Amino acid sequence: MTAEDFARRRAARPVEPVATIGMRAVLRKSTFGLLNLGPGAREQKIRHDIEMVRRNFGGLRQVTVVNPKGGAGKTMAVLLLAMTFGQRRGGYVLAWDNNETQGTLGMRAQQDFHARTVRDLLREMDSFRGAHGRVGDLSKFVRAQGEGMFDVLASDESATAGEMLTAAAFGDIREVVSRFYKLIFVDTGNNVRAENWQAAIDATDQLVVTMSARNDSAETAARMLDYLEQQGLHRLVRNAVTVVSMPPSRRELDIPAIEQHFQARTRTVLLAPYERLIDSGEPLRYSGLSSQTKDAWLKIAAAVAEGL
């Protein structure tokens, strides 16, 4: 006998799965556990998705959300993914608005005690040089999202902002935030030739392509994939997750054509249901989302996690 034999007693024993949702859960509770049918197919899928989201990715990972067309759902995707990972995985999640001009991520997120943006962080970058800077120092630049369990680094919200961010500025910011976060979701602008857009792509571990369920939004995304492939980024494109945001009605929409095109080019295509709260333009709260939306974005988050 060795100490290792003794230590094996601590190994977690598998627990018999029990249903927690649906009629199976009702039957288990009403019979005081005498009738336990186990989780149904839907609950098993939800549990699998949660396990995917909670995996150890082995280091810092960056997810970049792209589509050069405005109104393609990039900002909402960043917020909903950060919310989902924050809720199901815990903290150390950052949503970063890397828009080259005026971004809206900070406007759609919950407000904090300050309104500082990435420009303020850049102005005080010297305080983070070398080994300087603690997580408490960074908190005055990021906006805590409370129940969302993640933080937001907003872009300049002024319409009269100064010069566009450079690739070097992106690199400086990423070096700082990478000390304090394990998972970074990057919102991007509409100019694929902007230095900070290119820098975000170069640092990407998982690409997420968003679009509304319209031909113009889908075509813009398709042309962007053409551009990335021309830059030699075939692997990044092939591993991408495509998210199609649905409107209130599907009338006059050719969803199968969109799905077929992007299924052939990216790893998976997932539909995000219409959500009134998203359409309202108000700041998002996880608790205000419908269960259908939460389930859909958990599935999307699991697909993203698979690529990390």
- Show the 3-state SS of 266-306: CCEEEEECCCHHHHCCCCCCHHHCCHHHHHHHHHHHHHHHH
Domains observed in the chain = 3-39 (no CATH), 56-306 (3.40.50.300)
Residues in the chain: 308
In this prediction, residue 112 carries a pLDDT of 86
* Average pLDDT for the chain: 88
Measure CA of the first residue to CA of the last residue in the chain; give whole Å.
41
Amino acid code (one letter) for 254: D
Task: Give the orientation angle of helix 167-177 with respect to helix 195-202, to 10 degrees.
Answer: 40
| pLDDT tens-digit map of 276-306 | 998 888 899 999 999 999 999 999 999 999 9
| 72 within 8 A of 166, measured Cβ to Cβ | no
In this prediction, residue 147 carries a pLDDT of 84
| pLDDT tens-digit map of 217-247 | 999 999 999 999 999 999 999 999 999 999 9
pLDDT of 24 over the 70 cut: no
Closest of 268, 301, 270 to residue 286, by C-alpha: 301
pLDDT of 25 over the 90 cut: no
Q: Which region holds residue 62: left if phi is over 0, alpha if psi is between -120 and 50, else beta?
A: beta
- Residue 97, φ and ψ in degrees, nearest 5: -90, 105
DSSP string, 40-109: -HHHHHHHHHHHHHTS--SS-EEEEEE-SSTTSSHHHHHHHHHHHHHHHH-S-EEEEEE-SS---HHHHS
Task: Give the orientation angle of helix 291-306 with respect to helix 74-89, to 10 degrees.
Answer: 90
Q: What is the pTM of this model?
A: 0.87
The residue among 148 and 262 whose pLDDT is bigger is 262
Handedness of CA 146, 90, 198, 129 (dihedral sign): positive
In this prediction, residue 242 carries a pLDDT of 98
| pLDDT tens-digit map of 60-89 | 999 999 999 999 999 999 999 999 999 998
Taking the C-alpha atoms of residue 299 and residue 273, their distance in angstroms, rounded to an integer, is 12
> 187 in helix, strand or coil?
strand
Task: Give the orientation angle of helix 255-265 with respect to helix 215-230, to 10 degrees.
Answer: 10
Sheet arrangement for strand 268-272: 143-144, 151-153, 93-98, 183-188, 61-66, 206-212, 241-245, 268-272
In this prediction, residue 1 carries a pLDDT of 75
